[in-house]
Structure 1
Amino acid sequence: MAEVVIVGAGPVGLMLACELRLAGVRALVLERRAEIGDAPKANGLGGQIVRVLDHRGLLERFAAESGYAGPVPGFPFGSVPLRLATLTDTALHVLLLPQPRLERLLDARARELGAEIRRGHEVVALRQDATGVTLEVLAPDGTRHTVPARYAVGCDGGHSTVRELAGVAFPGTTDTEVLRIGHFTGNVTTGFFDTPGAGPLRPGWNRTPRGRVLVTSLQPGVDIVGVREAAGPPRARGALTLEEFRASVRRVLGGESPPLGEPIWLSETVSQARLAERYRAGRVFLAGDAAHLFPAGGAALNVGMTDAVNLGWKLAAVLRGAPESLLDSYHSERHPVGERTLLQTRAQAALEHAEGENGAALRELLAELFAYEAPLRHLAGVLEGSDVRYDMPGSVPDHPLLGRFVPDFALTTPGEGPAGVAALMRPARAVLVDLTGEAGLREAAGPWEDRVTVVAARAPEPPARALLVRPDGHVAFAHSGPVDEAARSGLRAALAHWFGP
């Protein structure tokens, strides 16, 4: 029997399967689709999740399949450009990787680790009691069977069946505009389209009185064209056609459609801003789009996949004997992150919607403001997710690293030579990095060595004398003073809170 059943084999569900398997948990993934799709719903990852992949030893492997991996010199906030290259340190990391390729890489990694993935299996019913969850599943041959588990996690998207079956409300709003996106075999790439009747289109979003048209490219030979306009009457069911796409572009431009190449993929969507009222309903959890939908792009996978990393180690810890109450911290930590991301993406959407001279004035003034280092650095942290700071009960609260994602500083361990903190996080275990040169903290952590890796190390410029890093990379204990009884007591309290007595 699986200990955890994950519903949905998108990037979030597959990342969770990897995390659970690293912790030795029997994980089963159920996916309604028969196979991985070809639709590039997302063009890559941006934010903290890129550093998390480095923690798991996956960044180099994934970057080999990517068009670009690393910090970016600029990024849009709504339609206002952020000139990140002016900052003295790295502010925002991206990994350009179309979603189908990302899913295939995560699928391969999950299978390597021993996760079972069943495609073509649709969850149609769910019940739970004090000991477990039972899912009713429709198999590819049309038969129904039940799947028992200790816990279930819905990673099944914005129209989540798991969320509905668990009775979790999903309040929010739906946009008044429709977005149509097309990927085309291109010969224009980052150049200009010369559109009869509308003039040339510059790379990026082009505004008209009737909407906006996007022209860009993220890989050679593929043009991305998008169009936003007020949602009209509902169109007939079925896939968006090339002629419907061209007609939408013509309406917004008030002229001819640009010379598009052969369509690779076309889609139509209406943005939503929604947040699940709770991320936990008994033994059922929500992650990714099942828990939140954001009205501006660029945040969904970063937040969703870091949801999975936060939840995975906690499920594993409880299954191995940690207090059940640990699972409540998934909602208390991640729901505010969803709220915060909803706030900033609503702000971006508002900037996009602001039209006419008033909208232009707002964007121009904000562009001036964002040129200053302090607001630029703040917004870069918001987009990266590096502004996330969890409450850490049981620890001295005034250390600047406490609750934050651990910085990857260089260190040397006995017998191992030079390394970095990221290299210590590969097994997805908690790590106590002891830089004191004394035995006091290591002795205090001794009773937890079955759950926490204790590493004595040296570092030229350490940010603290000791750090307890949770498997998700967040600092649960940080100490820079003497190794006295207060320090040992604080460490023991943090260890007991997060990893059990």
Structure 2
Amino acid sequence: MAYVRTDVVIVGGGPVGLLLAAELAGYGVRTVVLEEQAEVAERPRATTLHARTAQVLARRGQLPAPALPLSEGTSSTPFHFAGVWGLELTAPAAEPDPLFKRPQAALERLFEERALAAGAQVLRRHRVTGLDRRDDGMTVSAEHPGGQSEFEAAYVVGADGARSTVRTLGRIPSDTTPPTVAAMVGVVRCDGPEAPEPGWHRTPLGWVVAKRTTEGRLHLRVADCLNAPADHRLPLEIDEFRRETSRIMGRDIDMDEPHWLSRFSDFSRLARTYRSGRVLLVGDAAHLHFPVGAQGLSTGLLDALNLGWKLAFTVRGDASPGLLDSYDAERRPAAERLLDQVRTQVELMRPGRTPGSLDELAAGAADAGAELARLGLMVSGQDTVLPTRTGRPSAWEGRFLGNRELNTDDGPVDVIRLLRDGRMLLVRFASEGARPVSGVPHDLLHDLRHVLRVVRAEPVAGLPGAALLLRPDGYVAWASDTAGDIEAPLLDWLAPARTAQARESASSASSSRAWTSA
């Protein structure tokens, strides 16, 4: 039996778990990822990230930043809702594109590379078998080809998907809805004249979505919207997949050389809490829905980006009381909204209910154009406003600050680059002769320097007049239009009580046992 002591154990080495590992390790938190699979799975999965996910990834240095000087205006790309095209997804031109395309396997390799470079350990072929709570932490048991290991950690995060072992062993309850749609997915050789053309095909029985892979195969998703699915654990063979595709399309379709076949449905799950003591959930372990609208991966990555800095600050002793609880308070409602939205799309996709166009869908609204714009912001995650935390709310708190250039004492720089080191950002606006924001003792700012970056900038039209406090993910933590005390808002988020030496001692105490071979 090998024993390892660390700060955080992440169970699950998919893109969500590996991004979280890269975030935590980047903050200096000792992190171990346990993954059952021996290598990154190459089967076709998600390929799309929506605008808000790409925007936050850029602020955390996980995606390239836009070139300077920043472009003005907006960029747009067409998208669909319930299989009906006509939606325009837009984003400011100073941000990443509204849709960021990259295969999930490529994202996994990118995040794993960054996690390893930052100091995380990624242990593959490790299957978690036990989860025990202690007064001061957690013990995770795992089996692997070399035997068994136990990992002692302050926190455990379940990023292990829909059948989450962490959620089960952590006894975190969920609310579920039964499946009503029988769906299949496969990559096959299908070259005859009867093969579905790439695109979305609506039929009297359901839907077929087809696209060509780079290898020339056909990636097919087939949904029977009239019948409940068979047991998803049953194996899917090429004969059944061929038969169901032909039935839904209404013509005989020949196919062979299956590369990958699987079943899925509109079964949904939402954990009743994302945090149970020292156990937390992210991604599909916390929420599951029918894969329409390419929103699942984006939502899971936003979980990781929301949790990463909060858990890191908590482990290091830099977080104010209750900061970690805000993860559940912010991310669970977002998932609840997503599940409701996806159920709406599934209902609209049923035969006889699908609108002929999105204009028809929005026709009942007082302003059809505004309704379509609202749908676009919702699908892309850009309508998210977080609950207030400071008890001193302004109209800005909880809103996402779009990228823009600030004329600081060190020269022009944009918001994305100012946030990339992972600290909170305090921007103090002061024109020549203006009274500066007061109430921040120098020793407080000095004690917070490892978690707070302070810059002085010229006022910007449309931004608060005196001060702006940003979280590492780009959301506004606090803002003020008038000079005044900002010590209290800072302490709503951060704990400056310990010196760097004390923090280092605490980190050493939590990791006092040397790494052992696992």
Taking structure 2 as the reference length, the TM-score comes to 0.83
Deviation at 1:235? 8.3
Matched, 1:365 2:357: no
Question: Counterpart of 2:338 in structure 1: which amino acid?
Answer: T
Q: 1:442 to 1:385 in 2, by over 3 A?
A: farther
Determine the structure 1 residue equivalent to 2:479.
478
Query: In 2, distance between residues paired with 1:236 and 1:329?
Result: 36
Determine the structure 1 residue equivalent to 2:141.
136
Query: In 1, distance between residues paired with 2:90 and 2:322?
Result: 45
Query: In 2, distance between residues paired with 1:2 and 1:475?
Result: 32
Q: Alpha-carbon deviations, 1:433-477, whole Å to 9, x = none?
A: 222246733762741334211011236545223211111221101
Structure with the largest fraction of helix: 1
Q: What aligned pairs does 1:243-392 form with structure 2 within 5 A after superposition?
A: 243-257=239-253, 263-297=258-292, 298-321=294-317, 322-353=319-350, 355-356=351-352, 358-360=353-355, 365-366=360-361, 368=363, 372-392=368-388
Query: In 2, distance between residues paired with 1:365 and 1:116?
Result: 52
Q: Alpha-carbon deviations, 1:335-388, whole Å to 9, x = none?
A: 1111111111111111112x22x5447977205468933112211111121222
Deviation at 1:162? 0.3
Query: In 2, distance between residues paired with 1:28 and 1:91?
Result: 31
Q: 1:498 to 1:85 in 2, by over 3 A?
A: closer
Conserved? CA contact 2:439–2:487, under 8 Å: no
Structure 1 unaligned blocks of 5 or more: 63-69, 188-192
Q: What aligned pairs does 1:407-418 form with structure 2 within 5 A after superposition?
A: 407-415=402-410, 417-418=411-412
Give SS of 1:34's match: coil
Structure 2 unaligned blocks of 5 or more: 67-73, 497-518
Determine the structure 2 residue equivalent to 1:65.
none
Q: What aligned pairs does 1:129-168 form with structure 2 within 5 A after superposition?
A: 129-141=134-146, 143-168=147-172
Matched, 1:242 2:235: no
Q: 1:423 to 1:220 in 2, by over 3 A?
A: farther
Q: 1:224 to 1:364 in 2, by over 3 A?
A: farther
Match of 1:499 among 477, 487, 494: 494
Conserved? CA contact 2:84–2:357, under 8 Å: no
Deviation at 1:30? 0.7
Give SS of 2:323's match: helix
Deviation at 1:40? 1.9
Match of 1:93 among 77, 80, 98: 98
Conserved? CA contact 1:172–1:273, under 8 Å: yes
Query: In 2, distance between residues paired with 1:87 and 1:58?
Result: 18
Give SS of 1:59's match: coil
Q: 1:389 to 1:86 in 2, by over 3 A?
A: closer
Deviation at 1:395? 5.3
Q: 1:44 to 1:361 in 2, by over 3 A?
A: closer
Determine the structure 1 residue equivalent to 2:22.
18
Question: Counterpart of 1:454 in structure 2: which amino acid?
Answer: V
Aligned residues: 473
Determine the structure 2 residue equivalent to 1:29.
33
Q: Alpha-carbon deviations, 1:174-203, whole Å to 9, x = none?
A: 32222222335687xxxxx853xxxx9564
Matched, 1:81 2:77: no
Matched, 1:452 2:457: no
Question: Counterpart of 2:386 in structure 1: which amino acid?
Answer: Y
Deviation at 1:293? 0.5
Report the more deviating stretch, 417-426 or 83-92. Answer: 83-92
Query: In 2, distance between residues paired with 1:125 and 1:302?
Result: 29
Question: Counterpart of 1:351 in structure 2: which amino acid?
Answer: L
Q: 1:236 to 1:296 in 2, by over 3 A?
A: closer
Query: In 1, distance between residues paired with 2:334 and 2:41?
Result: 29
Matched, 1:111 2:116: yes
Percent identical pairs in the alignment equals 36
Question: Counterpart of 2:139 in structure 1: which amino acid?
Answer: T
Q: 1:430 to 1:442 in 2, by over 3 A?
A: farther
Query: In 2, distance between residues paired with 1:140 and 1:91?
Result: 42
Q: 1:458 to 1:36 in 2, by over 3 A?
A: same
Query: In 2, distance between residues paired with 1:27 and 1:222?
Result: 39
Matched, 1:49 2:46: no
Q: What aligned pairs does 1:197-236 form with structure 2 within 5 A after superposition?
A: 203-217=198-212, 221=216, 223-229=218-224, 230-231=227-228, 233-234=230-231
Q: Alpha-carbon deviations, 1:45-94, whole Å to 9, x = none?
A: 223111112112232399xxxxxxx9552111112334317999789722
Q: 1:234 to 1:306 in 2, by over 3 A?
A: closer
Query: In 1, distance between residues paired with 2:389 and 2:400?
Result: 16
Q: 1:219 to 1:385 in 2, by over 3 A?
A: farther
Give SS of 2:77's match: coil
Query: In 2, distance between residues paired with 1:155 and 1:442?
Result: 43
Question: Counterpart of 2:308 in structure 1: which amino acid?
Answer: G
Query: In 1, distance between residues paired with 2:27 and 2:11?
Result: 19
Taking structure 1 as the reference length, the TM-score comes to 0.86
Report the more deviating stretch, 437-446 or 243-252. Answer: 437-446
Conserved? CA contact 1:80–1:367, under 8 Å: no
Question: Counterpart of 2:388 in structure 1: which amino acid?
Answer: M
Conserved? CA contact 1:81–1:367, under 8 Å: no
The higher-RCO structure (CA 8 Å, 6+ apart) is 2
Report the more deviating stretch, 453-462 or 289-298. Answer: 453-462
Report the more deviating stretch, 261-270 or 5-14. Answer: 261-270
Report the more deviating stretch, 10-19 or 222-231. Answer: 222-231
